[in-house]
Amino acid sequence: MAGFKEYDQFDALGLAELIKKGEVSAAELLEESIARTEKVNPRINAVIRPMYDIARARAKETVEGPFAGVPFLLKDLIASYAGVEMSCGSRFYKGFVPSEDSEYVKRFKRAGLNIFGKTATPEFGITPSTEPELTGPCRNPWDPLRSPGGSSGGASAAVAAGIVPMASASDGGGSIRVPASCTGLFGLKPTRGRVPSGPDQADGWFGFIAEHVVSRTVRDSAHMLDCLQGNYPGQLLRIAPPAKTYAAAIEAKPKKLKIAYSLDPALGETLHADCQQGVLETVKLLESLGHVCEEVRLPINKEDFIYAYTVLVCSEMAATLKEGERVLGRKGKAADFEARTWALMKLGRSFNGGDVANAVWTMAQFSRRWMAFFEPYDALLTSTLGELPIAVGGLRPTSQEMVELKALSYLPIGFIAKQKDFVLKAGRRVYQYCSQTMPANVTGQPSMSVPLHWNAQGIPVGMMFTGRFGEENVLLNLAAQLEQSKPWAGKRPPIHAGTAV
């Protein structure tokens, strides 16, 4: 494997097999990944915290697991790695060093992965673009003027640019699927409770958040889910384990599925023409494979959903501030945070218990309607996004919005709580962009973005499939069939570590 020219021919499991056969060492693969990071990271700003020395020491150890010795990157949010700073994209947490690994990280290590760096995330993961003031904007390898999405933007940019074949990701409103769509990757958000979030972290955003990976291949994602899934002592939410492994699911003979599809803008106002085209082309592909497709209208009361979701997320941000003050032992102030984050925290503090309970009820009612609608179908197909990958800076507050956000910081709490119109307006652009992803976070269903479409300008347009609760096996089996029918792993963006930069 002289010069590691073959590196890009293998996914994570393929690299692990090379190590197992003795064709390359874990140390050699690590040095290749480090060299690739140094080559392309100045252009995409995906890896914000190198852990090279830690990884070099681990590469000398004998490790077991299906991914033994494979270089890997960890998102700098939620997942604690003992002894390594976790800033969560925020000035407030800069310098914070966790004392123990989260269960999620322990399982990565048990799988044999060698974590050699941390990837960029927006402040506390609250935006679908990755542009934290702390470390600067992350850029899309397909077009550096565009965002790789968020909040797992650093992870997706690193994988798309050929630094690693797979990286950790988490999803509270689309943060696995959005960046997967933006960068032409496969991204599965598991069922709520499938991958444990503890023991140091609560089930964030009222249970909306799920953790997994973004990857180039379906099989890496399936095998990784086998490594990550399963209960542990003290876990609050427990669900039944799969009847068979997810590795077996992708090898099983495909079944004929009944798949709903929709061209509704859902939480947005419009659906981009390229997104519509991607859905219609995917319907033709599905039908050619023997699946039955039926067009549907989505049962969403847009305004009620957006308001309730915003109330809950802002309340979580207020709690994040309070918990951060407890963990760090100091009070937070406006200068510690980005203006938008501070305003959302203030907004969250303005809601009372009744406001939050009403938002929870609204989401429960939505979930019941949605599940009843979903009952006849094995999966729902939509575009992942309502638009093409947004420009870097495209979701930053405008000058007028900055004035309003700063004013919000000084308003009395009681006055803020009455500003429903402001709440709806504040997130309108985000809901237009991520118009399809959030329902599955609320219901807890598994949902995946599959890189099946590129537009005429060569920009990725992900297609999203949402499955029944607990049925990742059905989605993964379908994804493997689609991957075989319309392969994508060989597609390379203009910025890629395997080519001249």
Q: Is 151 a catalytic residue?
A: yes
Please list the residues that pair with 453 across neighbouring strands: 461
From CA 408, how far away is CA 406, in angstroms rounded? 5
Q: Which of 167, 172, 60 is nearest to 125 (CA)?
A: 172
Tokens 């890496």 belong to: 220
| Annotated active-site residue in 39, 75, 118, 346 | 75
DSSP state of 143: B
Residues 35, 36, 42: CA angle, nearest 5 degrees: 100
From CA 109, how far away is CA 227, in angstroms rounded? 10
CB 300 within 8 A of CB 439: yes
Phi, psi of 433 (to 5 degrees): -70, -50
From CA 212, how far away is CA 214, in angstroms rounded? 7
For the stretch 448-479, what's the b/e string if a residue is b when 16 or more beta carbons lie within 10 angstroms of its beta carbon? bbbbbbbeeeebbbbbbbbbbbbbbbbbbbbb
- Residues composing the chain: 501
CA 387 to chain centre: 17
From CA 77, how far away is CA 125, in angstroms rounded? 7
| Annotated active-site residue in 129, 156, 168, 175 | 175
Extract the tokens encoding 44: 């995409």
Q: Is 244 a catalytic residue?
A: no
DSSP string, 223-241: HHHHHH-S--TT-SS--PP
Tokens 């519509």 belong to: 276
What is the side-by-side order of every strand in the sheet holding 292-295?
47-50, 114-119, 71-75, 166-171, 210-215, 186-189, 447-454, 460-467, 379-383, 258-261, 292-295
DSSP string, 344-371: HHHHHHH--HHHHHHHHHHHHHHHHHHH
Helix segments in 197-350, DSSP class H: 218-228, 246-251, 273-288, 302-328, 339-350
| Annotated active-site residue in 87, 151, 168, 181 | 151
Q: Using the Cα atoms of residue 359, residue 363, residue 368 and residue 372 in order, give the sign of their dihedral.
A: positive
Residues known to be catalytic: 75, 151, 175
